[in-house]
Chains A and B, each alone.
Chain A
């Protein structure tokens, strides 16, 4: 188990390094000079040159990358172009909002997707199964920003049940949760469909297994067989799938944060790109990547905890 965790951590370092290289080259290739954008049209060439020097933009590309790479591992993601605040602090301020949003998305997709998939499988061929089949495809097909806009129009504007913008009063957990409902639904709705389909398929497979037949032959109650004997196996692929899902939810969080005017990494990156605030862009993307890799590792460890067969193969 420890061996496995160490191996996976090593792999995580490689993945994050590759992500950093891609990120760095992407920013390098974006047209526009950060110094002139930051200083505005009235800046003199000398001022721009001074800023470029201070940002290290005058050095050869590989030196720039090495500086970026080595400092990043020390937690130094540079400073914001204008306010000169450390990027890590800026990103750290916004990160909880986005993580809450993704956690909300996961909650929606698990809380709805698993029961729907399970019911559809147990009542295979019934109207529930058909409705779940159609609905799951429908919600997978609709992009999250469309869900966000319609959720906003229906529940916030027309019905006025839920707030339309913002993240709620700081310190007021209840208010923040109420503000989280619609944006997290927008982030997680597509995954309700994915998870319902995956759970249905793997549940149908498990229900055919001979150990389920044994359980029935021993007269165990249906509920115990379905939820403990079958579902606990059928949800295993879901955990792995959610590890990947987190990545997609992080990117749909950008749209949700813009539509609902929520603070968060997505909004931060969006604004930073518009203002050529590259250290913030790269810092935010880097932190997000690290989280994605970490959560994938976590998903694999959870599968290990849930499945004794995987656990002993670690």
Chain B
């Protein structure tokens, strides 16, 4: 069963400079008990995707089409504010990027964790007991005393663990993790990833993991969705996408990963060009202006090409791996 099934999702924002098409025909699924990574440069639509799922798009944002099926039932694009609120924090939880600012500075950690359980019908003592148990699970020392402390009394890594505890406390079906490790240093990053994996397996939830850090995605995720300028350009299992990338953008992106540089280079590789202006998307393939494999057919938008085994890339050449000659 799929916990989340996104079909042909289109989202646009009305701005003073014109309509920005932030997401175009986005489709992918998050199967039960799997960790799906969404990777892409800044501005590729990752945040818009999260907000669309959560029903928290800015006032000028609009879902122009498509469906977001949650737990094979309700279409999140059609739910009202009250129905969406009932899901948030209970069935769908979120951990945000910035652990410093994600918790309220003037409310104690315990009180914040109890507030999240406001719909549970538990007594205050039960809420606090659950909060303490959750803090213990994320290895916050002296969990009972920690309930009475305020966010600024914890380190960045601890704050992020508290945020994870808060998100998983209600045992959601889906955890959305929005670059949860980006603000942490490298050792904390590894520890946090391991903790997330451990808790995910324990609770049995699915995770939608947003990151631009390829190493983290490769480490943690079962499936990968590669986004570029508001479109899904490639998706498949982590092994498929990382070992056999078929979309030129994915190929370039993997080449640019500093961790993949075999030898010292004076200058790290980059992808030439910029993300196109989303107010006037090019008619054809969105990556064509920056793609060195483009040819006449790219003037039309390529359909998703099925490479097999759930591996899909939105490129006419997806089934023809690039030759060594082309690369140089």
Contact = CB atoms under 8 A, between A and B. Distances in A.
A224 B115 CA distance: 9
B88 A216 contact: yes
A218 B152 contact: no
B89 A312 contact: no
A27 interface: no
Contacts of A307: 105-106
Interface stretch (A77-85, A96-104, A195-203, A207-215): A207-215
A224 B119 CA distance: 13
Interface in B90-122: 90, 93-94, 96, 98, 101-108, 115-116, 118-119
Chain A CB count within 10 A is highest, among B94, B102, B104, for B104
A210 B105 contact: no
B96 A218 contact: no
Contacts of B118: 220-221, 224
A128 interface: no
A233 interface: yes
Contacts of A217: 54, 56, 88-89, 93-94, 96
Nearest to A211: B104
B88 A218 contact: yes
Which 10 interchain pairs have the tightest Cβ spacing?
A: A219-B88, A218-B89, A219-B89, A308-B150, A210-B101, A217-B94, A219-B85, A211-B104, A214-B102, A218-B116
Interface in A155-180: none
B129 interface: no
B271 interface: no
B116 A309 contact: no
A214 to B, nearest CB: 5
B103 A214 contact: yes
A70 interface: no
A24 interface: no
A99 to B, nearest CB: 30
Q: Interface residue tally of chain A, by bracket?
A: 20 to 34
Interface of B: 54, 56, 84-90, 93-94, 96, 98, 101-108, 115-116, 118-119, 150, 152-153, 163, 166-167
A59 interface: no
A306 interface: yes
B86 A211 contact: no
Contacts of B150: 308-309, 312
- Chain A interface secondary structure, helix, strand, loop or mixed? helix
A89 interface: no
Chain B CB count within 10 A is highest, among A214, A220, A228, for A214
A113 to B, nearest CB: 20
Nearest to A307: B106
Given A219-B88, A219-B89, A233-B106, 15 more contacts: A210-B101, A211-B103, A214-B94, A214-B104, A216-B54, A217-B96, A218-B89, A218-B116, A219-B84, A219-B90, A220-B115, A221-B85, A229-B107, A308-B108, A312-B152
Given A219-B86, A220-B118, A213 B56 contact: yes
Contacts of A221: 85, 118
22 contacts: A211-B102, A211-B103, A214-B94, A214-B103, A216-B88, A217-B94, A217-B96, A218-B94, A219-B84, A219-B85, A220-B89, A220-B116, A221-B118, A224-B115, A228-B107, A229-B104, A232-B107, A233-B104, A233-B106, A307-B105, A308-B106, A308-B108
Contacts of A216: 54, 56, 88
Contact of A214 (B86, B96, B108): B96
Contact of A232 (B106, B119, B153): B106
Contacts of A214: 94, 96, 102-104, 163
A218 B107 contact: no
Chain B CB count within 10 A is highest, among A210, A211, A216, A217, for A217
Chain B CB count within 10 A is highest, among A210, A214, A218, A309, for A218
Nearest to B117: A218
Contact of B101 (A209, A229, A312): A209
Contacts of A309: 105-106, 150, 152
Contacts of A229: 104, 107
A237 B86 CA distance: 34
B96 A219 contact: no
B153 A312 contact: yes
Contacts of B101: 209-211
Nearest to B169: A218
Nearest to B178: A217
B102 A210 contact: yes
Contacts of A215: 104
A217 B56 CA distance: 8
Contact of A213 (B93, B96, B167): B96
Contacts of A210: 96, 98, 101-102
